[in-house]
Amino acid sequence: DAGVTQSPTHLIKTRGQQVTLRCSPKSGHDTVSWYQQALGQGPQFIFQYYEEEERQRGNFPDRFSGHQFPNYSSELNVNALLLGDSALYLCASSLRGPNEQFFGPGTRLTVL
C-alpha cells in the first residue's frame, strides 16, 4: 500500500497564476481533506470531499476550489495566486466519519 501520495512535491508560481495540486488517497479510503500549513503554523482546514462533493469548508476564499473523482483521488485548485498562498499543502485521506486521517507528504508551493 503506497499510502497517501501527492504531486508535485514542489512548485514555484508567480502572483496571479493558477495551480493544481493532486492527491491519491490510501487504498480503501473514500474521504479526502485538504489543509494549508504555513511555515511555523498548524495545518488549516481548507475543505473535505466525500462522494465527489464538498462536504465542509474552512475559512478560505473561493479562489480555492477542489474536485474529487470517482476513484476518490482529488485535486486542489488555487486561482489568482497571492504571495500569502505560499505554504505546504497537505492532503489527508480517511474513511467516512471521525476516523484517523492519513496524511501525504505535502506539496510545497512557493509564490513569487
Neighbours of 99 (CB within 10 A): 11
Query: CB-wise, 59 or 71, nearer to another protein?
Result: 59
Q: Which residue has the cell 506539496?
A: 107
Residues facing 65 on adjacent strands: 77
What is the secondary structure of 28-65 as a DSSP string? T--EEEEEEE-TTS--EEEEEEETTEEEEE-S--TTEE
Give min distance, CB of 15 to another protein, in A.
Answer: 26
* Residue ranges in contact with another protein by CB under 8 A: 4, 31, 33, 35, 40-45, 48, 55-56, 58, 90, 92, 94, 96-106
Query: CB-wise, 17 or 51, nearer to another protein?
Result: 51
Query: CB-wise, 81 or 90, nearer to another protein?
Result: 90
Give min distance, CB of 7 to another protein, in A.
Answer: 14
